[in-house]
Amino acid sequence: MKLVVRVIGARKLPAMDLNGLSNPYVRLKLGKQKFRSKVVKKNLNPQWEEEFSFQVDDLKDQLVISVMDEDKYFNDDFMGRLKLPVSLIFDSESKSLGTAWYSLRPKKKKSKNKDCGQIHLSIHFLEKKSVREMKSNGDQVSDLRKQADVTFESPSRSIDFLEQPEIAKLEVDENNPEDQSSSYSFEEAMRKIETRDEGSENPSNLPGGVLLDQLYIIAPPDLNTLLFSPDSSFPKSLADLQGTTELQVGPWKFENDGDILKRSLTYIKAATKLLKAVKGFEDQKYVKADGKNFAILATVSTPDVMYGSTFRTELLFCISPGPELPSGDQSSYLVISWRMNFVQSTMMKGMIENGARLGLKESFNEYASFLSQNVKPVDSKDLGSSKEQVLVSLRPTQSDWKLGLQYFANFHVVSTVFLGLYVAFHILFAAPSTIQGLEFVGLDLPDSVGEFIVCGVLVLQGERLFELISRFLQARVQKGSDHGIKAQGEGWLLTVALIEGSNLAVVDSAGFSDPYVVLTCNGKTRTSSIKFQKSDPQWNEIFEFVAMDEPPSVLDVEVYDFDGPFDEVTSLGHAEINFLKTNISNLTDIWVPLEGKLALACQSKLHLRIFLENTRGSNVVKEYLSKMEKEVGKKISLRSPQTNSAFQKLFGLPPEEFLINDFTCHLKRKMPLQGRLFLSARIIGFHANLFGRKTKFFFVWEDVDHIQVVHPTLSSMGSPIIVITLRQGRGLDARHGAKTQDEEGRLKFHFQSFVSFNVAQRTIMALWKAKSLSPEQKVQIVEESGAKCLVTEESGSFLGLDDVSMSEIYSSSLSVPTSFFMELFSGGDVDRRVMEKAGYIDYSNTPWVTENGEVFERQVYYRFDRLISLYRGEVTSTQQRSPLLDRNGWLVEEVMALHRVPLGDYFNLHLQYQIEDIPSKAKQCKLKVFFGIEWLKNTRHQKRITKNILKNLLDRLKVILSAVEKEYVIR
């Protein structure tokens, strides 16, 4: 015989911690059989809803039920206990005690606190029968349900089984009426539970995995009714399809004072190749129901299978609204996830989970197929225009009147208008005055100091009002701006809509900040406009990135406070959107929390809408592999869908990721670990399984800072080693696979013992180069293109020096001859050393090329040191060298384009270096420097930017000239 104990819940449990709460769970013991329920955190009125089965061999045994409080650091605390003789349950009517509340007792009789709360139990005997007997007795489940609804009405007779074990009487709380079956219809029950929904978030998917994730053309309430209404024919039809028999569906009932809506189901599952037909018990409970979102938790137990008493299978059905379709129909997301809840430890845990996973996958494939026959799934073609619909919503919804009110509704405008009207009416009503003093006809000077002050104030007020009107017109034009940058080409298109920011940090003394956002993906950068004096800015700007051959890995988002291109900047927060770890479908509309000290303190967030799409299908993959074949020098075959699927599942990658190659190798840590190295367009991953102990990690190519090949040594067992060094602070998820960490905090990974080292090395280097080009490669690209100037898509076109107003910013005599000073523009050792001392990193240049007779031209590239600019921006420059007209010196003209600095795409810098000989002093020369800015876009902060650039330029110029004089002395 089997004794079934269902632990429903408890109430009025004693508080065990300082916060007045407890973490209760239940222990059950019958003879040598022991079970334990799950822990309910911080609750004195917990709900467990778990069922346990005991094999009864002796009616003299006692069922001991203890309620404990979990303590992570010390022994668990005792809260209360209940003892029931098995003979009492066996001798009762129908061998059942029904459902009742029982008082818990302390361990000792002399305990001061005898009020230990109450526990809600359902206890009955279940005789084990064969499948034939279960089929012949179809009313068994309903009989047991009737027995389970029996309660004891003995409020005055509370029995302590420790004191009087021979007496078999139970206590029932008089304030707890019998749970009555709800008389509500399903629609009424939904409306009632909707009114009690507290607006909590939808529960997250269960950790076992997702069985179904599909979008259907149906409203969420209608889908909920189809799947869970008692009047729906869907469950019965599905049971017939899957061979499930004797389906008994109980009514939906409210429990716990109407807070919980649940029902019970019983059925006999069809026999499979591995298992015979088995009876299942299922409890369904609404976790959330607010009229739009529905979440139902189903707990399934099959006690008759092998080890069936040790686990429960939990399924979570989540229904949420989907996007509105172009046809106007509503849509719903249905996500079904699962997990295995082990109520008792067992060595067969892995086997049970694997078996359940296979069975559930097969069952819910049939479920999805049958549901698709009743409800039409949404095809991707139906969502083709969703991107355009979402971006259309970014068009300015704010009227010109509201925008004008935002700019002009302040004291300054009101006072200016009042003062202007006051003066106008005064002029209107005042009599003409006689000409006096130094006045003449047509000239009316102020006659007093007061009149002079009023005139000055009126002029200043009018100037300020004119600036406000100018800003208003500019803001009106930029509403919903897309910066005029459209994606070109075919491949992977990335579109980012920057909506707004929330709770950005304040860094100005006025209590505001001037935020702007920098978006970086695959080396391309987009910069938003600056929102002046805003802590909750609204951009509504759209950024598109030029089509990429391979899918992007990471989108870096950085928020800065604007203080000038070269001034020390303040980062208001940063975030990283990893396309490999995030489902692309979930990126349509997201709030991104920012990281950083200021951002975390203020809980700053950015509102983004991100779209990533492939416009060429599988051709992108084939073209990318063709390009890699030229780099590697070896044929690379496209892997099969099965191999790619296994690769994606191994590392949890999205469906668009494809495997390029994999190699057997050793990961060198303290001990070599043999495994496989996997290479794809976006990641490099490693996996090993040694005696069941798995090692798995991956990092993206953009995180790689350096790749080094160490030649074979005795310590490496005659095998060369590939050392991959990540950038500082990157790849922390793969920290356990790194061998060392250098002084800068960069992780180093060592791979060796490749079967074909040359192929592995060439493949790794080719994939890395595809993601990051060195400065020399950039200069080489410019040379091959034959361009006369290095101009990026952000910097605009080259106009020439004649179109820019130049002014002299420096003039001085230097203690070096003209010939030596020109070494600064030669491209030799002096040129490189001086530039490195000035803080220019990765300095490189092309040779001088004759353009027109005595005019020579070259291109220059370098990066700013962190001490010059925290942005670590880049400079591409075109220089022209020609002799002066009197042949007494040289003229060097330069056009500079700044990249990755604030507003760098708004201007180009123009410089002229005029170097002349001094006839009386052979070892000296005279230098004049002229400066001008070519504005490519209009901005009201031209003076501010010019002042900032000029100050930095003069500082750098003094450092360079000092270094040139020192080089001359050394030589």
Task: Give the Å distances, CA to CA, from 923 to 82, 504, 846, 966.
Answer: 105, 57, 29, 14
Q: How far apart (Å, rounded) are the C-alpha atoms in residues 640 and 660?
A: 11
pLDDT surpassing 60 at residue 181: no
Helices (H), 114-175: 131-136, 140-148
pLDDT value, residue 119: 92
Q: How far apart (Å, rounded) are the C-alpha atoms in residues 539 and 526?
A: 14
pLDDT value, residue 617: 64
Let me know: does 747 contact 726? Beta carbons within 8 Å: yes
Q: Which residues of 266-291 are buried (b: 16+ CB within 10 A; e: fewer)?
A: bbbbeeeeeeebbbbbbbbbbbbbbe
Type of residue at 348:
M
Burial degree of 636 (CB within 10 A; 0-12, 13-18, 19+) = middle
Between helix 757-771 and helix 619-632 the angle, nearest 10°, is 120
- 88-118 tens-digit pLDDT: 888 887 788 888 889 888 877 666 667 788 9
Q: How far apart (Å, rounded) are the C-alpha atoms in residues 269 and 356?
A: 14
pLDDT value, residue 407: 61
User: What's 217's DSSP letter?
Assistant: S
- 736-762 tens-digit pLDDT: 889 888 888 899 999 988 878 888 888
Q: How far apart (Å, rounded) are the C-alpha atoms in residues 42 and 599?
A: 31
pLDDT value, residue 158: 37
Chain-centroid distance, C-alpha 507: 26
- Please give the share of the chain, as a percent, with pLDDT higher than 70: 79
pLDDT value, residue 794: 31
pLDDT surpassing 50 at residue 661: yes
pLDDT surpassing 70 at residue 920: yes
DSSP output for 647-674: HHHHHT--TT--EEEEEEEEEESSSEEE
Q: How far apart (Å, rounded) are the C-alpha atoms in residues 205 and 219?
A: 21
pLDDT mean over 615-626: 69
Name the pTM for this structure: 0.43
Q: Which of 533, 529, 515, 534 is nearest to 572 (CA)?
A: 515
pLDDT mean over 697-720: 82
pLDDT surpassing 50 at residue 551: yes
The number of residues in the chain equals: 971
pLDDT mean over 516-523: 85
Strands 855-864 and 874-883: antiparallel
Number of C-alpha atoms within 13 angstroms, CB side, residue 467? 11
Let me know: does 81 contact 67? Beta carbons within 8 Å: yes
Task: Report the chain's C-alpha Rg in angstroms.
Answer: 39
Chain-centroid distance, C-alpha 24: 35
Show the tokens assigned to 362.
């097969």
Band of the pLDDT at 281, cuts 50, 70, 90? very high
Element (H, E) at 843: strand 840-845
* Angular region, 573: left φ>0, alpha ψ -120 to 50, beta rest: left
Q: CA angle, corner 178, sides to 176 and 181, nearest 5?
A: 135
Show the tokens assigned to 3.
């004794």
Let me know: does 37 contact 49? Beta carbons within 8 Å: no
Show the tokens assigned to 758.
């040359």
* Angular region, 523: left φ>0, alpha ψ -120 to 50, beta rest: left
pLDDT mean over 247-270: 86
pLDDT surpassing 50 at residue 783: no
Averaged pLDDT of the chain: 78
- 566-606 tens-digit pLDDT: 556 788 899 988 888 766 655 667 888 898 888 888 888 89
Q: Which of 667, 514, 657, 533 is nearest to 584 (CA)?
A: 657
Band of the pLDDT at 156, cuts 50, 70, 90? very low
Q: How far apart (Å, rounded) are the C-alpha atoms in residues 376 and 379?
A: 9
pLDDT value, residue 144: 34
Show the tokens assigned to 189.
């029950």
pLDDT value, residue 513: 77
Band of the pLDDT at 298, cuts 50, 70, 90? very high
- 354-382 tens-digit pLDDT: 888 888 888 898 898 899 888 988 764 45
User: What's 504's DSSP letter?
Assistant: P
- Please give the share of the chain, as a percent, with pLDDT higher than 90: 10
**How many other CB atoms are there within 10 angstroms of residue 855's CB atom?**
14
User: What's 847's DSSP letter?
Assistant: P
pLDDT value, residue 928: 92
Band of the pLDDT at 942, cuts 50, 70, 90? confident
pLDDT surpassing 90 at residue 16: no
- 27-59 tens-digit pLDDT: 999 888 888 888 888 888 888 888 888 888 777
